Amino acid sequence: MSTLDERVLDTLRFLLRSSHLGGVDDLPALVRGAGQRLGAHDATLYVVDYDQTLLVPLTESGAPPSDPGTPEPVTIDGTLAGRAFSDVTQHVGSAGELVSFWAPVIDGTDRLGVLQLLFAPDTVVDHDLRQACTDLASLVAELLMSKRMYGDAVELARRRSTMSVPAEMQWTLLPPLTFVSPRVAISGVLAPAVEVAGDSFDYALNGDTAHVALFDAMGHGMEATLLAGVAVSSLRNARRSGRDLADTARTVERELEAQFGPDRFVTGIIGELDLATGWWTWTTCGHPPALLVRGGHVVKVLGDVVGPPLGLGLLDDPPQIGRERLQPGDRLLLYSDGVIEARDADGEFFGTDRLVDFVTRQAVAGRPVAETLRRLNHAVLDHQEGTLQDDATTVLVEWLVPGEPQESSPEPDESPVGP
């Protein structure tokens, strides 16, 4: 066994054995200790903020660092740390005289942040050391996911401003923002992060079926959050009870009407993608139709099936169901009206044309679904100068070529890059 192998084994044992007792407040010290056992001078875990613009160091206090000498938040755009996060790749740079190694921290394929390890200036960052850092980052991701529920340190670090109670409820309801398997990639994003209320989405992979839904509840604030919460919970209950797509829509309709009466409603798209055949079946309920992206171009607007919003007692029996055969590599973009209705200072809407152009350019660039949505979210926010008047939610689904997952373990960048 080589010296590095011994250090790796010691590092992983240290993390595993030290993590059984304690909470998320202990994670920064555990990460630092693990990095030092691997041979680094220091190690710091950075978590992504809710707006996905900053990577914020997780400190013992759980709050953003303020003491001199402690790490500062790092912007995602234009930095090595940001490239490690957005591209899910390793990057090597410098921090003073030290070698700075950045590794993405991912839960499956859901991007949680990055890990920075600082090595001596004469350190040779070869393949074995890169792999050791990747293994450490993977275990740190597992600990971050398991420990974050026992305290508020991660939540405090991720928030740039006070979150509303409706947004607090809505974020708790969401699944992980990104999921990728060899056959499908699914990602979603919500804005404004600290004030979102009426928008929500859900997905689940069961056997050969990927279930995907997006909802937009009427109104704002707590009432909209409660509407969306009932819609998502009804959807999950119907799915877990083995109901088909039509009966699932009827269940959501029935529960909304029972809880809120016939004058409150939720728009949405409820769909299923057969991963074995590529058939997408869906029902659209008073919602903007999904876009089909193929070969870097929007080739179809799936607007043939549009029924009434859910909750008004007007749903067709049975509901209208659409069917579209996808090709490997096709993407489906689901979005709420807050995306295309975002307005700039002159009152110009973001609009469907701008949305189509943006999605097309991102597809041509070959960016993965999660990074495409992060950039789209920022484009919408920038268009409305950072303050949205309505929730803006997007979900992107890609049917992948079997055996060619879009996002996997971090790929190393073999060329050293400057700071």
Provide the pLDDT for residue 369: 87
- Coil, helix or strand for 278? coil
Output DSSP code: residue 343: B
Provide the pLDDT for residue 387: 64
What predicted TM-score, i.e. pTM, was given to this entire model?
0.87
CA distance 149 to 23: 9
CA distance 397 to 184: 7
Provide the pLDDT for residue 261: 86
CA distance 343 to 339: 9
CA distance 419 to 416: 10
Chunk the chain into consecutive blocks of 10 residues (it has 419) and report each block's average pLDDT, rounded to whole numbers. 77 85 88 92 94 91 54 93 93 91 91 95 90 92 91 90 90 92 92 83 96 93 93 97 96 95 93 96 95 90 93 90 95 89 79 85 84 88 70 90 52 40
The domains located in the chain, with CATH, are 3-157 (3.30.450.40), 163-399 (3.60.40.10)
Distances from the Cα of 338 to the Cα of 129, 215, 298, 377, angstroms = 46, 12, 20, 11
Provide the pLDDT for residue 302: 95
Mark out the alpha helices in 25-78 (DSSP H runs). Answer: 27-38
* Residue 172, C-beta contacts closer than 8 angstroms, at least 6 positions apart: none
Distances from the Cα of 64 to the Cα of 67, 70, 118, 164, 260, angstroms = 10, 10, 20, 20, 41
Mark out the alpha helices in 299-409 (DSSP H runs). Answer: 337-340, 351-365, 369-383
Provide the pLDDT for residue 351: 86
Provide the pLDDT for residue 411: 47
